[in-house]
């Protein structure tokens, strides 16, 4: 049930529009300004095409493109022109928006920029700020997120979380979002076509294994070097694809989300209520179920001693194979 692809909204539902925005080549402040204007115009178009829309979702790199450039002249700040334009547009159109920026990092002089997703409400206020936890190494140069994952209350009182691109390949990310209460998890990306099959597998699995909706979108079109895949996708809490886009640039894919479908399953399901059962193993045989941590990798990660069985054989350990310098900056945790 998608409300005829977001054209209708029923009581208790919200309409989300995922925009397969055009991939741009951005190398200077004018390019950045043009891309920002284009994204703002797409917010307006989404509101015209889908008057019932509550939230408009844009891909990762929606104003920066895929050059991986870190030149300070095109890095954003939270009080800069780009974020101000997004805030003003959401206020004018009375709609929520999720946007992507590459943000200047002031942790130290040698710290690489952040890959950031921001959520702005219909009053033009930033209500969620997320730094990508898992940059797509060895391709991306971004400093790894150090504030953890957050959940916020979106339109209609729906609990939401945002992850970015490669984050979604780690099932722990979706589980963390659901564990913190997310009923809808957004995933924004700049992925190109070789990732299409993995994209579907992980979007669907993240939804089913956590009994939640996943709403995902990538850039689309070409910039003379790269071609992004588009492929907006709405998955329901049983892992079914409700709505799906293609590779068309600037195509808007909308869908009604009925969050009670999540809440009822999490309350009432026995079989495959895996979010609950992870911490209550075997509750048929053991009172309350076992609530220990039987997973070695979890215990090692918590202790800072994570090392897979083949760790000594891993060959690529920095970004030099993609032309980046060997890093010298140390990681600082703020979570």
Q: Are 33 and 231 in contact (CB under 8 A)?
A: no
> pLDDT value at position 2?
76
Which of 132, 159, 235, 256 is flagged as catalytic?
A: 132
CATH number, span 3-271: 3.60.110.10
Average pLDDT of span 202-224: 96
Q: Which residue bears the tokens 């998608």?
A: 2
**Phi and psi at residue 332, to the nearest 5°:** -125, 125
Q: Is 125 designated active site?
A: no
Q: What is the pLDDT of residues 238-251, one digit of tens each?
A: 999 999 999 999 99
Which of 9, 40, 60, 261 is flagged as catalytic?
A: 60
Q: Is 49 designated active site?
A: no
Grade residue 1 by pLDDT with cuts at 50, 70 and 90: low
Grade residue 8 by pLDDT with cuts at 50, 70 and 90: confident
Domain boundaries of the chain, sorted by first residue: 3-271
Q: What is the pLDDT of residues 139-171, one digit of tens each?
A: 999 999 999 999 999 999 999 999 999 999 999
Which of 62, 76, 165, 235 is flagged as catalytic?
A: 165
HEC string of the chain equals CCHHHHCCCCCCEEEEEEEECECCCCCCHHHHHHHHHHHHHHHHHHHHHCCCCCEEECCCCCCCCCCCCCCHHHCECCCCHHHHHHHHHHHHHCCEEEEEEEECCCCCCCCCCEEEEEEECCCCCEEEEEECCCCCCCCCCCCCCCCCCCEEECHHHCEEEEEEHHHHHCHHHHHHHHHCCCCEEEEEECCEHHHHHHHHHHHHHHHHHHCCEEEEEECEEECCCCEEECCCEEECCCCCEEEECCCCCCEEEEEEEECHHHHHHHHHCCCCCHHHHCCCECCCCCCCCECCCCCHHHHHHHHCCCCCCCHHHCCCCCCHHHCCCCCCCCCCCCC
Q: Is 200 designated active site?
A: no
């Amino acid at each position: 049930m998608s409300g005829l692809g977001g054209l209708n909204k029923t009581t208790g539902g919200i309409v989300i529009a995922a925009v397969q925005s055009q991939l741009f080549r951005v190398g200077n402040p004018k390019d950045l300004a043009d891309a920002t204007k284009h994204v703002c115009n797409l917010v307006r178009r989404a509101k015209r095409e889908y008057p019932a829309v509550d939230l408009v979702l844009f891909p990762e790199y929606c104003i920066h493109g895929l050059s991986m450039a870190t030149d300070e002249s095109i890095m954003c700040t939270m009080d800069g022109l780009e974020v101000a334009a997004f805030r003003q547009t959401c206020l004018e159109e009375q709609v929520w928006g999720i946007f992507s920026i590459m943000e200047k990092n002031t942790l130290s002089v040698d710290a690489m920029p952040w890959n950031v997703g921001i959520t702005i409400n219909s009053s033009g206020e930033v209500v969620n700020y997320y730094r990508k936890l898992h940059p797509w190494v060895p391709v991306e140069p971004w400093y790894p997120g150090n504030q953890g994952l957050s959940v916020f209350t979106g339109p209609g009182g729906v609990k939401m979380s945002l992850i970015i691109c490669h984050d979604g390949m780690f099932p722990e990310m979706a589980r963390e979002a659901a564990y913190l209460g997310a009923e809808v998890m957004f995933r924004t990306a700049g992925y190109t076509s070789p990732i299409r099959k993995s994209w579907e597998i992980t979007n669907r699995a993240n939804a089913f294994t956590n009994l939640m909706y996943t709403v995902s979108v990538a850039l689309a079109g070409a910039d003379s070097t790269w071609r992004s895949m588009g492929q907006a996708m709405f998955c329901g809490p049983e892992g079914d694809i409700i709505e799906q886009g293609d590779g068309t640039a600037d195509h808007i894919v909308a869908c009604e989300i009925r969050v009670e479908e999540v809440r009822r399953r999490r309350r009432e399901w026995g079989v495959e209520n895996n979010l609950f059962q992870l911490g209550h193993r075997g509750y048929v045989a053991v009172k309350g179920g076992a609530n220990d941590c039987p997973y070695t990798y979890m215990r090692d990660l918590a202790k800072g001693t994570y090392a897979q069985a083949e760790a000594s054989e891993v060959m690529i350990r920095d970004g030099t194979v993609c032309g980046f310098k060997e890093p010298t900056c140390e990681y600082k945790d703020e979570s």
